[in-house]
A and B are shown apart, each in its own frame.
Chain A
Amino acid sequence: DIQMTQSPSTVFASVGDRVTITCRASQSVNLWVTWYQQKPGKAPKFLMWKASSLDSGVPSRFSGSGSGTEFTLTISSLQPDDFATYYCQQCHSYPYTFGQGTKLEIK
């Protein structure tokens, strides 16, 4: 199975900060990484796929990059609504494994 490792596990930041979350795959997944946002008690929400393609309606302060084994999710200027847990998932090969999550908390 492909392991997806996110870092950091928790990040403390303030409104207006720029935040980057990293997701590393144990083997190449080409571009097939999807990012989700999850708030407490809610289902995950799809943010972007193919490493950097934003879903319609996702604010442009979110961006993604990477290929192969290393991927990043960047939020350019944190807004109050962005404090949540973020997960990466590889959709390259079964099982479609997730990272362990990165919790974005208010500093």
Chain B
Amino acid sequence: QVQLVQSGAEVKKPGASVKVSCKTSGYTFTNYWMHWIHQAPGQGLEWMGMINPTNGGTIYAQKFQGRVAMTRDTSTSTLYMELSSLRSEDTAVYYCARDHYSGSGTYLDYWGQGTLVTVSS
């Protein structure tokens, strides 16, 4: 069965960077793009971007452009999301979610359990 297992909670100081991992199993890693979504405490979902696991190609939301880097390791079927220059408003749960492209459209069918990143001095 498809599983997306994310790394554990992190506490970081303002200005630092954080790297969240998303280890996948149960499907062919390179067949599905992966998205990352941000959810601040008590707030809604915000799309951060996506990565093509085949070639590492990325598409980022403008809001996070320049601070986010999405990468992958095909040998371990793991995706990574690194966010730099952290500020308090980056305190959030970060989710990875698999893109299911059917040929006529796309949706996010499987989600990781989420990783809480707390930015605090």
Q: In the complex, what residues of B have CB within 8 A of residue A34's CB?
A: 107-108
> Is there an interface contact between A95 and B61, defined as CB atoms closer than 8 Å?
yes
Binds A, one of B9-17, B73-81, B111-119: B111-119
Nearest B-chain residue to A30, judged by Cβ:
B105
A98 B106 Cβ-Cβ under 8 A: no
The 8 tightest CB contacts between A and B, nearest first, are: A49-B107, A43-B111, A95-B61, A98-B45, A34-B107, A96-B47, A101-B44, A100-B44
Using a CB–CB cutoff of 8 Å, the interface residues on chain A facing chain B are 1, 31-32, 34, 36, 38, 43-46, 49-50, 55, 87, 89, 91, 94-101
Give the interface of B toward A (CB within 8 A).
Answer: 35, 44-47, 49-50, 59, 61-63, 95, 97, 104-114
20 A-B pairs with CB atoms under 8 Å apart are A34-B108, A36-B45, A43-B97, A43-B112, A44-B95, A44-B97, A44-B111, A45-B111, A46-B107, A46-B108, A46-B109, A46-B110, A49-B107, A50-B105, A89-B47, A89-B108, A91-B105, A95-B61, A96-B50, A97-B47
